[in-house]
Structure 1
Amino acid sequence: MKDQLDGLNRHAKTVAASAIPAPPTAGLQPYTGPWDRPQLVHLLKRTMFGARLGDINYFATKTMEEVVDELLQPTAAPVLPPLNNYSVDGYIDATGVAPWQIWVNASPLLYNQELNQKRIASLQAWWMGQLLNSQRSIHEKLTLFWHNHFAVNMNKDASIRAQHWYGHYLSLRNNALGNFTQLVKAVTLDPAMLFFLNGNTNKKTAPNENYGRELQELYTIGKGAGSAYTEDDVRAATRVLTGHTVRTDNYTYFFDAGEHDSDNKLFSAFYSNHIVTGKTGAPGATELDDMLTAIFATEEAARFICRKLYRFFIYYTIDDAIETNIIIPLADIFRNNNYNIQPVLSTLFKSEHFYDLTYSSACVIKSPIDLVIGLLREFEVSLPASDNAAGQYDVWALLLSVCSRQQQQIGAIPEVAGWYAYYLEPSFHETWINAVTYTERTIFTDNMILQGITQNTATIIIDPIAFATALPNPGDPNALMDDSLSILFRYPLSDATKAFIKQSILLSGQTTDYYWTNAWDAYISNPNDAMAKSLVQTRLQAFYKYLMNLPEYHLS
């Protein structure tokens, strides 16, 4: 068995390697080429979780510019925060929050570790629901990007209140499509982050360099060739940040002027020898704005963020040509637009480079979240209704568990640098695939198409007949093949492979297309005929199972 799994792992990586993009020939100039399903599906898969047929049809009548503009519109804040889904099997919320009621407004002063852990699990499951139910917008996927950028692990410190972690999610989401400087400031002053990276203990008499270091190393400047901040800059940033803390009486953000270092802070030549003038009293809090101005005056800050956006949304390799033709001009747009995020993404998603599909399509291995959430969305898997909170949370918790077994758990990123796939050189996205995770992926896709997966009262399963019925011409096995692949795959299958799949599965070993067409027509003419339905169901299950078992299915 181990040899078989290792072989699957090698095969997956071989397919990924064979999909290494050809050298790009296009830059950031506006795209003027064909605008058909391949380009649209590529855009939707990169900006959302999967490309649903309904979304493809909705956007098909719009221009590329119109689609990008719509995808970059923020969506409304969640109407319903996380609920008490944990008062089961006799467990009672000690703070009095009733089952299926909102817990985020409960006083953080009323705390016990077991309850807090249950609420964090509730939040993590709820967040999966936000991804699953995301609208026709990049908003939730971009929030996930910022979650990886400001990487946290909610399970690492049990003393950080779940309410603060919900506030952290809102900080990311509320600023995801806005101004990056404001996002950095919001995260810096976020109580969850103040606790997580020890900013709450950073005092003039006992400076804590943790956040001052990560602010530059991970969040704004990075460690690339153009990064030249110094250890003195870390110390200066730490001094600027003294006094920003969390109140102990109500656990809200608080600037403690008495603990702030009010002397001047000198930064290095990398920051143009900028001096943050020290301030006493409440104005000391504004030193943070002064420091951020100096940080974002550097060229490297914009380039660092643009590289991360590029690696997340396009491809991980950034060679000299990509740096010169894509990253640097994109960073200039970022800086010239006062670090507003939308102009950068708009330029990227409307560029010749993005639609150079020989370079940018089918070249990355899907993350577990992209795989799992994308599968449910693309196959339009039936989900519990909004009035069935218990069923919804069962599904969300189940998907959280599935992704965790594939080594991507939302709210529990293993390193402060993010998930390995987005920064660990040289493997990058290949870290998603190993003998364990590839097996977990296959178990998930097999179960979803064959018998479904269940948690408590909720079961989710792919309905292959419903999916096929929504396609333009499912009675034609060739059209069924091509239309299915146009949604589910980005890596092209050869004609020989398609012919083999069609004959061995859809035609049950026969050589004439009408063996499938007759079976389909018989079912359509009498869908209550159990035998006719079973024949179609069995073939479609085998068909989609085979497709999802191919390593190519894991490429985006």
Structure 2
Amino acid sequence: MASLNPLNSNLDLRKTKHLLRRTTFNYSKNQLDAFIGMTPANIIDSLTTPTTNALAEPYDPLPTGNPDGFWTSSGAAPDSFENESRKRGLVAGWWWYNAMSETSLKHKLSFFLHTCFNVAKDDGAGPSSYYYDYLRLLDFYAYGNIKTVAKKITMDNAMLVYLDNTRNNKNNPNENYAREFFELFTILEGKQIGEGNYTNYTEDDIQQATRVLSGYKVDKTRSIIDPETGFPTGYINYELHDPENKTFTEAFNNTTITGRGTPDTILDELSDFVDMVFAQPETAKAYCRKLYRYFVKSTWNEEVENDIITPLSQQLIANDYEILPVVKTLLSSEHFYDTDDSDSTDNIIGSIIKSPLQLLSEICAMFQVNIPNPTSSALTYYNAFFYKFIHNTYFPFAGTYLFSPEEVAGYPAYYQEPHYDRNWFSSNTIIGRYRLIESLIFGENTISNGSIFTILDTVLFVKNNIPDASDPNLLITELADLLYPESIDTDRTNYFKSYLVDEEFPDYYWTGAWNKYLSSNDSTTVKTRLDALITAMVNAAEFQLM
């Protein structure tokens, strides 16, 4: 029976790896060593300790000699800058560096909120400053209230532009945002039961919601500040808002929302509307299904629906949509660690294909890649390493655009059945995924061209992290224990060992080579072998899973 009962025992290596991979982008041996032997509850408490971003804001090191610098706080009009496409990429680089600078659940939840309230930065979301504000809003509420996010995101400048609600006026309605608010962001459609009529809402409800959301406008100056978040927000032109009452269908119990006509009271109308949508049990279930797919597994059976999803949704409602208590319940549960049954066909550990973001982050964190410092080497980090290599080369070739999914619904891995996370891995994405480790080892962009200004030192990594590196069998099994969700068998160990020792030679040939390196500090021989081994192990099927 699927169980949300807490797992109270101390976690071993296997379960600790599972928890850390699912909850943080900064997954490393140091973190494993720190958390092994702790209970899930204690680890999660540590992962949710409030933190401060390493970088307060993004920096543009170009143009050379007269950089735009901290353009998001410059006071200049957001649309007055050039090279906005690059600047949007630099905003993504700011977010990723912060995610890599701490071992925290915050950034995983922030990205989860992005998948729920998608705004694609490169597809009509306005100036880069708007997107910076959007990501800050998600970070601010990562441990907060989903219902509050639904209200705040409605007034977010990037969202207002992206889904056209800034064009929605009482005399010229635009239904785009209202439709997606139901269909993608909150309650979802449910089964279609007639033309223009879904289980959870109807076309009439979209029209009424459009009236509620009329008159909302982008603040192009970013001078209007939300007093609760401290971030720029849009505003309401009350003359363009429909002040009449709005009556919804039976899907929402024929609720009537009282129309308002002043800027302050119109926000009360928004609050009433959001409360109405979030009062529906299906809204809570929609979010809990998304949480399950994001943290646990992309598919599930009726037992999981009844014993995991439904109780979590009830907890979400009971906590008035505070996200953290529900996430803690899920991540601490027997079910999350697959200890609630003996069915070996539904394993949760190792059941998710890593996203390109997870793959990149895990390689850089685990192998201690010396990412250029954006404070002291801004041009190198922002422009050469992140924008040209990671943003413009790796991510597209790996099958995604960071913070810019091609569909309004978001990344197919989180919504498109039947493949879900299997969408991350295909013949079209292999080049990006497989050449990432190669590029880092050689310090060159092997997907296209150019220096990436950092090198993954495989020899130094092994020396500092693998105590038994002179024994090829122990070296490989200890590496596998760090890299893979599950231990590998003898056949796989022997396969990987062929990268260290030619088949016709005994193991002591590697032992001699390694000991010679330790005594002479000449890494020429072992580097060639370790580069090949780690490339093979990272590109193996086992590493694609978490």
Same fold? TM cut 0.5 = yes
Q: Distance in 2 between matches of 1:517 and 1:294?
A: 68
Q: CA deviation at 1:237?
A: 1.1
The match for 2:513 among 512, 519, 525 is 519
Q: Does 1:376 align with 2:367?
A: no
Residues 109 and 251 in structure 1, CA contact (< 8 A), matched pair in contact too: no
The match for 1:364 among 352, 355, 367 is 352
Residues 276 and 290 in structure 1, CA contact (< 8 A), matched pair in contact too: yes
Q: Does 1:191 align with 2:163?
A: no
Q: CA deviation at 1:219?
A: 0.7
Q: Does 1:87 align with 2:53?
A: no
The match for 2:453 among 452, 459, 462 is 459
Query: CA 1:280/1:50 → structure 2, altered by over 3 Å: closer, same or farther?
Result: closer
Q: Distance in 2 between matches of 1:74 and 1:227?
A: 40
Counterpart position of 2:314: 332
Which runs of no fewer than 5 residues in structure 1 stay unpaired? Answer: 1-24, 91-97
Q: Distance in 2 between matches of 1:450 and 1:457?
A: 9
The match for 2:173 among 184, 200, 207 is 207
Residues 444 and 451 in structure 2, CA contact (< 8 A), matched pair in contact too: no
Counterpart position of 1:27: 3
Larger mean CA deviation between 541-550 and 179-188 belongs to: 541-550
Q: Give the residue type in structure 2 aligned to 1:281.
A: T
Q: Distance in 2 between matches of 1:299 and 1:487?
A: 41
Q: Does 1:541 align with 2:517?
A: no
Q: CA deviation at 1:72?
A: 2.5
Counterpart position of 2:90: 122
Counterpart position of 1:312: 294
Counterpart position of 2:490: 495
Residues 445 and 451 in structure 2, CA contact (< 8 A), matched pair in contact too: no
Larger mean CA deviation between 512-521 and 191-200 belongs to: 512-521
Larger mean CA deviation between 53-62 and 369-378 belongs to: 53-62
Q: Give the residue type in structure 1 aligned to 2:158.
A: A
Counterpart position of 1:421: 413
Matches within 5 A, 1:226-375: 227-247=199-219, 252=224, 253-282=234-263, 283-356=265-338, 359-375=347-363
Query: CA 1:136/1:236 → structure 2, altered by over 3 Å: closer, same or farther?
Result: same
Residues 243 and 259 in structure 2, CA contact (< 8 A), matched pair in contact too: yes
Counterpart position of 1:13: none
Q: CA deviation at 1:379?
A: 0.8
Matches within 5 A, 1:438-477: 438-450=430-442, 452-453=444-445, 458-469=452-463, 470-477=465-472
Residues 356 and 398 in structure 2, CA contact (< 8 A), matched pair in contact too: yes
Q: Distance in 2 between matches of 1:451 and 1:262?
A: 61
- The 3-state SS of whatever aligns with 2:499 is helix
Q: Distance in 2 between matches of 1:143 and 1:340?
A: 14
Q: Distance in 2 between matches of 1:548 and 1:281?
A: 58
Q: Does 1:405 align with 2:387?
A: no
1:202-251 Cα deviation digits (max 9, x unpaired)? 11111211111111111110123594211111111111111221245667
Q: Give the residue type in structure 1 aligned to 2:114.
A: H
Counterpart position of 1:17: none
1:337-380 Cα deviation digits (max 9, x unpaired)? 11001101100110001111751111121111111121111111
Q: CA deviation at 1:409?
A: 1.3
- The 3-state SS of whatever aligns with 1:383 is coil
Q: Distance in 1 between matches of 2:185 and 2:161?
A: 17
Identity percentage of aligned residues: 32
Q: CA deviation at 1:113?
A: 7.4
Q: CA deviation at 1:124?
A: 2.8
Q: Does 1:153 align with 2:120?
A: yes
Q: Distance in 2 between matches of 1:178 and 1:495?
A: 46
Q: Distance in 2 between matches of 1:482 and 1:168?
A: 43
Q: CA deviation at 1:491?
A: 4.5
Q: Give the residue type in structure 1 aligned to 2:236.
A: F
Q: Distance in 2 between matches of 1:218 and 1:166?
A: 22
Q: Distance in 1 between matches of 2:239 and 2:494?
A: 75
Q: Give the residue type in structure 1 aligned to 2:335.
A: H
TM-score where L is the length of structure 2: 0.89
- The 3-state SS of whatever aligns with 2:79 is coil
Q: CA deviation at 1:457?
A: 6.3
Residues 244 and 285 in structure 1, CA contact (< 8 A), matched pair in contact too: no
Larger mean CA deviation between 72-81 and 350-359 belongs to: 72-81
Q: CA deviation at 1:471?
A: 2.2
> Greater relative contact order: 1 or 2 (C-alpha under 8 angstroms, separation 6 or more)?
1
Query: CA 1:500/1:411 → structure 2, altered by over 3 Å: closer, same or farther?
Result: closer
Q: CA deviation at 1:123?
A: 1.7
Q: Distance in 1 between matches of 2:216 and 2:68?
A: 35
Q: CA deviation at 1:483?
A: 1.4
- The 3-state SS of whatever aligns with 1:459 is coil
Residues 475 and 520 in structure 1, CA contact (< 8 A), matched pair in contact too: yes
Q: Does 1:484 align with 2:475?
A: no
1:312-338 Cα deviation digits (max 9, x unpaired)? 111110321111111101111111111
Q: Does 1:509 align with 2:503?
A: yes
Q: Distance in 1 between matches of 2:78 and 2:509?
A: 66
TM-score where L is the length of structure 1: 0.88
Residues 458 and 527 in structure 2, CA contact (< 8 A), matched pair in contact too: yes
Residues 6 and 332 in structure 2, CA contact (< 8 A), matched pair in contact too: yes
Q: CA deviation at 1:66?
A: 0.8
- The 3-state SS of whatever aligns with 2:453 is strand
Q: Distance in 2 between matches of 1:110 and 1:354?
A: 44
Q: Distance in 1 between matches of 2:357 and 2:455?
A: 17
Query: CA 1:435/1:456 → structure 2, altered by over 3 Å: closer, same or farther?
Result: closer
Residues 220 and 295 in structure 1, CA contact (< 8 A), matched pair in contact too: yes
Counterpart position of 1:390: 379
Residues 303 and 327 in structure 1, CA contact (< 8 A), matched pair in contact too: yes
Residues 369 and 456 in structure 2, CA contact (< 8 A), matched pair in contact too: yes
Residues 271 and 295 in structure 1, CA contact (< 8 A), matched pair in contact too: yes
Q: Distance in 2 between matches of 1:261 and 1:525?
A: 80
